[in-house]
Structure 1
Amino acid sequence: MEKINILVTLDKSYIKPLKVMLLSLKETNVDYRFSIWLLHDSIPETEINHFRGFTDKLDYDFHPLKIDATYWQTAPTLKQYPTEMYYRLLCAEYLPADLERIIYLDPDTLILNPIEALWSIDLKGNMIAAASHLGLTGINQTINNVRLRTKSEYFNSGVMLLDLSKMRVKVNKSDILDLIRNHANELLLPDQDILNYLYGNQILSIPEEIWNFDTRDNIVHFAKSRGQVDTNWVIANTSILHFCGRPKPWDKHSINRFTILYQHYQRMLELNYK
């Protein structure tokens, strides 16, 4: 059976959410095998080894790769957007040359249904597949087009299928660093803005309701679908929930409709994977 490659980029503060995400992936994708690739620059070796014990229990292959963060010292970062977010942009440079495609997942996602259909999607010549969070009116799309002087959809970088072969040819480190130097003050969501500015016209749009359901937009999806996309529909059809923004579902004050579902997997982790 072909293994599905999963990419994550994070620091040690997101290790527990990553475990929850990977546990949900295991529970809802029992017929598939996975290789987990972790790009980081500062997670201690002791924590890496402990995490390997967890992936072994899930029967995942685990490949941690430590990145030299020097290149990104001048890049704009925020508390909620650490340096590691840039690594997904250049992941084709860091990952082995024989890897051809990989699914990138933010650690604040939850996997509800199989993701093989995303893995095997026809990219139709594009470099990336990703979803846009359009909202009820699409006004945010218009704002981002004006802000970044782009014409394509504004894509969320939290869930992406990446064609690594094409990225090795088309994604250039100097282009990214030049954009950062020249437009750092304009980058509101740094790596996501860079992705859309430089590569937006090479991204295949995929349905957000299936592959990158922003849990903040539950009412929006319900309204746009005239009541079809309710909680029952999400449980049966959505493959990837994305807990964008704050508070996160592991925070005490989270009131998100899907927090209880996240806490279910979090409790499973605590009970069975100490």
Structure 2
Amino acid sequence: MSTPINILVTLDAGYLPPLKVMLWSLAANNRNQDFHIWLVHEKLTATQIEEVRDLTDALGWKLTALTTKIDLTDQPALIKRYPPAMYFRLLCGQVLPADVHRMIYLDPDIIVINDITPLWELDLQGNMLAAAAHRGVTKLVDNVNQLRLGTTTSYFNSGVLVIDVDQAREKIHLSDITAAIETYHDYLILPDQDVLNFLYGETILEIDEEVWNYDTRKYLVYQTRTLSKHDIHWVMRHTRILHYCGTPKPWDATSDSKFTSLFLNYQQQVQRLLADLKPTEA
């Protein structure tokens, strides 16, 4: 087995079921790779963590659960209204052990459909982060967000990140994040993602969204942009990560998109696996 790839997840209890689907899809499509899952949370119970550990143990992976709290006691009300977990991915350098140097962060509303080793081995070229930008057919989204946030870089999605943890320890601080929110709160739409772009956009290496952070809502957009070359067959061969951005989520009864059934299939598989792990009653 190869050296483990570090995977960071930060979530509350509501996202535990899709997290298990994401982890199972990661295992199913990276069978010769070992992973170390780092679960950073504020108030998951021991029982909830053990549910995740049942799966990672079955996959032969290590799980490290780290409880952390963001102290917002002295912050104004507008800061406190955002959930503390929002900060965890950006502040991972303050939470992770000193011997952890690189991390892939993945949102739980993701499935992995091909090998992600190239993302782990990506040359960051001196940057602190790598991320994809969801642009649509043109760069209009970038232009709108540059005007809104006063930035000059692409507008990056925070759902998939490669993080140079050593640089993050040095450069990312809670005080900078809260100051940015307090100053620009009237302009923030997705606070954690907006802060990522406003404060750290200049330190982000752009990666291909259709490979590493495919927005499942935008199949027709990608088709249009590539003159129908990137059809579903292309996606299944070349895309590594599908991201179920927005709503409804694929586990919701109202979801019926091109990629819903793929998620539901992985969901069924992991549910069967976990059911088989339960001890049978005498």
| TM bin (shorter chain) | over 0.9
Whether the aligned pair in 2 keeps the contact of 1:76 and 1:184 (CA below 8 Å) is: no
Show structure 1 runs of 5+ residues with no match: none
Farther off after superposition, 180-189 or 196-205:
180-189
Residue 6 of structure 1: how far off its partner (Å) = 0.1
Unaligned residue ranges in structure 2 (runs of 5+): 276-282
| In structure 2, distance between residues paired with 1:207 and 1:138 | 14
Matched, 1:60 2:61: yes
CA distance in 1, matches of 2:211, 2:49: 32
- In structure 2, what is the Cα distance between the partners aligned to 1:271 and 1:207? 34
Q: Secondary structure at the match of 1:71?
A: coil
Deviation of 1:50 (Å): 2.5
Q: Deviations over 1:50-89 (max 9, x none)?
A: 32112101111000111113338753656xxx43121001
| Deviates most, 19-28 or 176-185 | 176-185
Q: Which moved more, 1:69-78 or 1:247-256?
A: 69-78
Which residue is 1:91 aligned to?
A: 92
What amino acid does structure 2 have at the position aligned with 1:59? G
TM-score, normalising length: structure 1 = 0.96
The one-letter amino acid paired with 2:172 is V
Q: Deviations over 1:239-270 (max 9, x none)?
A: 00000000000000102110000000001012
Distance 2:166 2:70 in 1: 23
The answer for the alignment partner of 2:196 in structure 1 is 195
1-structure distance, mates of 2:179, 2:164: 23
- CA drift of 1:216 comes to 0.6
CA contact (8 A) 2:72 2:80 kept: no
What CA distance in whole angstroms lies between the structure 1 residues aligned with 2:186 and 2:18? 30
**Counterpart Cα distance in 2 of 1:131 and 1:42:** 30
Larger displacement relative to structure 2 (98-107 or 50-59): 50-59
Structure whose CA Rg is larger: 2
SS for the counterpart of 1:26 is helix
Spell out, residue by residue over 1:210-233, the C-alpha distance to the aligned partner (whole angstroms, 9 max, x if none): 000000110011111111111111
Structure 2 partner of 1:175: 176
Query: Which residue of the partner structure matches residue 105 of structure 1?
Result: 106
Instruction: Indicate conservation of the 8 Å contact 2:42/2:85, yes or no.
Output: yes
- Quote the offset at 1:175 in angstroms: 0.9
Bigger Cα displacement from structure 2, 180-189 vs 252-261: 180-189
Letter in 2 for 1:167: A
- CA gap of 1:165–1:37, structure 2 versus 1, over 3 A, is same
Contact 1:6–1:102, Cα closer than 8 Å, also in 2: yes
What secondary structure sits across from 2:93 in the alignment? helix
Q: Which residue of 2 aligns with 1:139?
A: 140
On the 8 A contact 1:39/1:67 being kept in 2, the answer is yes
Matched residue type, 1:206: I
Contact 2:69 2:84 in 1 (8 A): no
> Quick check: 1:5–1:35 contact (8 Å CA) kept in 2?
yes
Name the residue aligned to 2:210.
209
Q: Report if the CA contact (8 A) 1:76-1:190 is conserved.
A: no
> Number of residue pairs matched?
271
Q: CA RMSD for the aligned pairs? A: 1.3
